[in-house]
Amino acid sequence: METQKSTWTEFFAGAKQAYNELPEPTLLKFIPNVPKGCALDIGAGLGQNSMFLAQQGFSVEALEKDADIALKCREKLDKENLKIKTIANSIEAQDLEENKYSLIVAAWVFAFISPEEVRPVLEKLEKSLVPGGFLYIGTFSTKDAGFINNKPIPEARNSVKLANGLAMHFFEPGELENELAHMEDISTVSGTRRDYSHGEPHTHAFIEVVRRKRAR
């Protein structure tokens, strides 16, 4: 009997090679300023960001909630002989040690965290950063076509149900920035960009923030 593939297995199988191999471009801009230490890659996918961080000298933990993708990520990283710890769990359920990470990367995963969990997760991430540690978040805004063109979920603020059945949460302009206003603002970028990495070319409205935990 053929095993049914998960939604994310289908997604990564259909993505362009560059999507599965290249790190987030924003990481390249600020990574030289991040103190070497332990890094957490949330929603690691097939491990492209984890691999890049390990190559830069970080001790990396790759967190991926989809069990099938987490296994593929582990297999891929093992082939590269990179000592990266892979964890099959969601960031909502994962316990994090306080004052551990010099860098946390959350690339396009907050879109799949329910609205009521956003603040608790942000608080958890900040506590797990060392003083002076960096947090990168890339996510989508309510100006995105995915929000405008899909059916809203009444009980979940700024969330819609996609054709593949997934719930997706979008952020209002300034919302994420306000939640992180007490942290040092390293970079804040929002706007639109064309996405050629999966499916037909389309446009996303995005928000990317880089914040640093203030030293005590």
Looking at residue 3, its pLDDT comes to 36
| Rounded Cα distance, 133 and 130, in Å | 5
Tokens of 9: 């297995």
Look up the pTM and report it: 0.91
Q: How many independent structural domains does the chain possess?
A: 1
**Domain presence at residue 137:** yes
| Rounded Cα distance, 24 and 28, in Å | 7
Looking at residue 196, its pLDDT comes to 73
Looking at residue 14, its pLDDT comes to 55
| Rounded Cα distance, 169 and 114, in Å | 7
Tokens of 18: 């560059």
| Rounded Cα distance, 194 and 140, in Å | 13
**Domain presence at residue 29:** no
**Domain presence at residue 153:** yes
Per-residue pLDDT of the chain (216 residues; tens, 9 = 90+): 233 346 656 655 555 555 557 899 999 999 999 999 999 999 999 899 999 999 999 999 999 999 988 998 899 888 888 889 999 999 999 999 999 999 999 999 999 999 999 999 999 999 999 999 999 999 999 999 999 999 999 999 999 998 888 899 999 999 999 999 999 999 999 999 888 776 788 899 999 999 999 987
| Rounded Cα distance, 208 and 51, in Å | 21
Looking at residue 139, its pLDDT comes to 96
**Domain presence at residue 10:** no
Q: What is the CATH number of the domain that holds 40?
A: 3.40.50.150
Beta strands in 56-118 (DSSP E): 59-63, 85-87, 101-107
**Domain presence at residue 77:** yes
What are the angstrom distances between the C-alpha of 202 and each of 130, 189, 192, 197?
A: 38, 19, 10, 9
Tokens of 121: 């997760």
H/E segment holding residue 207: strand 202-212
**Domain presence at residue 5:** no
**Domain presence at residue 141:** yes
| Domain span at 134 | 35-212
**Domain presence at residue 200:** yes
Question: First and final CA of the chain: distance in angstroms?
Answer: 57
